[in-house]
Structure 1
Amino acid sequence: MPIGAEQRLELECPAKVNLTLDVLERRPEDGYHYIRSVMVPISLCDRLILEPAPEGITLECTPAVTGRVEENLAYRAAVLLREATGYPGGVRIRLEKAIPVAGGLAGGSTDAAGVLLGLNRLWGTRLTREELIRLAVRLGSDVPFFIVGRPARVEGVGERVTPVPAARPLWLVVTTPPVAKSTGKVYELFDQLPSVPFRPDAAAVEAALAEGDPVGVARGLCNVFEAVMLPRHPEIARLKEALLAEGALGAVMSGAGPTVFGLVPDEVAGAALLDRIRPLARGAWLTRCAAAPSAACGADSC
């Protein structure tokens, strides 16, 4: 079937976790922080359904979106692609959410990337990956990662995405405590630290991924935002401690939190840990490294 001929596309849009996350200096022109992070997509997914329409862009979300539809990243992605390409038609977007909102798992960003990738195929707009990444960074710093759709080192303000080899899947128990947070506030608190007490060794984690060494990956898990989140939210610290006490090889907060995940040796160990940890968390899932929606459009998967 030629590109642009599909009448309906369904995509799974995976969450991500940060194996490492370092926050660096600010970009002079706009004050955005540079970051350096090793990220992997995981098998906790939202489901995205795209159907062409003669005109207009509509979004139906389950559960229902909060706030204005026009502010939703999936909707904004469709508007951006249409404006960038001059495509004359429209689309009906249906989004079934499973990724926790504001959890540090980039649920909105993966949905936006899914829309960019899916509509590029559905509409036949034929943008290259590099062109899609340039659009993606205008939507958010995590969106370009999902365009690439595999384990990667992410730098700059999210626009520099370098795939890294992963010799074997990672199994993770992902948990969310009942904590609300604002990413902007987390950055503000981070900027107030007199010094950063720890920094990740991203190169060591990348090497362990390439060697298929989950113990080495676990040893290198590190997120500088823990320096501000764990002291202020003991629920996060307790969940991390519980994951380690119940057998995780390593545990760390993802993104700006509050989600915490534990790395386990394999699926069997993960299932056992999930049973023990579920009563302590608002939500808990056993996941593995997964391909982002770009896999449906020809990109490599992990």
Structure 2
Amino acid sequence: MVSSIVVRAPAKLNLGLSIVGRRADGYHDLISVFHAVDWQDTLEIAEIPSGIEFTCSLCDGVPRGPQNLVFRAIELAFQKFHITRGVAARLQKEIPAGAGLGGGSSDAAAALRALRRLFNLQGDDDSWLLLCQQLGSDVPFFWRGGTALVEGRGERLTPLPVDEKLWFVVVVPPIHVSTAWAYGQLPRPSGGNQDYRNRIQRLRAGELSLADFCREIPNDFERVVEAVFPRIGEIRCALEASGAISARMSGSGSSVFGVYSEQQEAQRAAALLPADCLVRCVQGMPSSSDRKL
């Protein structure tokens, strides 16, 4: 019998992001392409007689108690499946918090995957996605991973058939951008970027390579965020000058990424970036059905 499970929780990049409208509940509808990359947290969950024990290392800026999404995911699964045993969860963070990379949401999805295997929990994919939705807008994407068209608050997912491997230089400057603040700065939504929608459809149909798709991708947050935090724009321009196919913020920031066809190009660009920024060269990852936990 399995007594402990180790799972990886990847980061994601927004390959474009367009705000469609504002909902009656105060949330915004968006359209974006999420792309999982191999910058990963590690979560170990072990069975214990009772209760929930949670520890976290390298967790600057991350809640350590019941407010952590891993803890909340475990509580939610325990309630739904009436689990009477306990678990000890140990999270090792690598993905920085508050950078637009989805680390907390990915950790929550990883916790659910680990619990499903540890306790042999049942349920089809749709029922697990509904559970993910209760934890946060981005959590359903991380249940599947890979590359997906994401719509609504993040609950509507359409997997995209992307096999192409690109390299990304991800830069996290020492700047915190509040997601709530960034949404509050947006102008009135105008229904979303139609050219972006068209390019997504061409990518979905196999008429556009991922590299060509990335050449022209919008992020509606860039203008308002870079107006207050100009250094983010400077980093983005530096990535473009290094030869990147394109350079964009991920989510509402503060992370910025450049897109490259070759690993050597990405590594050369990464070496030129400011020393006070966290810089990683990463590659895309397949969906969770195609990879190990």
Shared fold per TM-score greater than 0.5 = yes
Alignment match, 1:117: 113
Aligned length in residues: 290
| Gap regions ≥5 residues in structure 1 | none
Alignment match, 1:253: 249
Q: Mark the CA change 1:84 to 1:25 in structure 2 (over 3 Å): closer, same or farther.
A: same
Deviation, structure 1 residue 218:
2.4
Counterpart residue type for residue 107 of structure 2 = D
Q: Mark the CA change 1:134 to 1:99 in structure 2 (over 3 Å): closer, same or farther.
A: same
Alignment match, 1:36: 31
Counterpart residue type for residue 35 of structure 1 = L
Alignment match, 1:155: 151
Q: Tell me, yes or no, if structure 1 residue 128 matches structure 2 residue 124.
A: yes
CA contact (8 A) 1:214 1:263 kept: no
Q: Mark the CA change 1:233 to 1:275 in structure 2 (over 3 Å): closer, same or farther.
A: same
Partner SS for 1:238 = helix
Alignment match, 1:16: 12
Deviation, structure 1 residue 127:
2.3
Alignment match, 1:240: 236
Matches of 2:190 and 2:248, distance apart in 1: 16
| Gap regions ≥5 residues in structure 2 | none
Alignment match, 1:106: 102
Deviations 1:119-157 (A, max 9, x none): 011111112211111011111110000011110001111
Deviation, structure 1 residue 213:
2.7
Counterpart residue type for residue 289 of structure 1 = G
Q: Tell me, yes or no, if structure 1 residue 219 matches structure 2 residue 219.
A: no
Larger CA deviation: 203-212 vs 113-122: 203-212
Residue of structure 1 aligned with 2:49, choices 51, 54, 59: 54
Q: How does the TM-score come out when normalised to structure 1?
A: 0.89
Q: How does the TM-score come out when normalised to structure 2?
A: 0.92
Matches of 1:75 and 1:195, distance apart in 2: 35
Partner SS for 1:12 = strand
Q: Tell me, yes or no, if structure 1 residue 181 matches structure 2 residue 177.
A: yes
Q: Mark the CA change 1:251 to 1:281 in structure 2 (over 3 Å): closer, same or farther.
A: farther
Percent identity between the aligned chains?
33
CA contact (8 A) 2:20 2:192 kept: no
Q: Mark the CA change 1:289 to 1:49 in structure 2 (over 3 Å): closer, same or farther.
A: same
Partner SS for 2:56 = strand
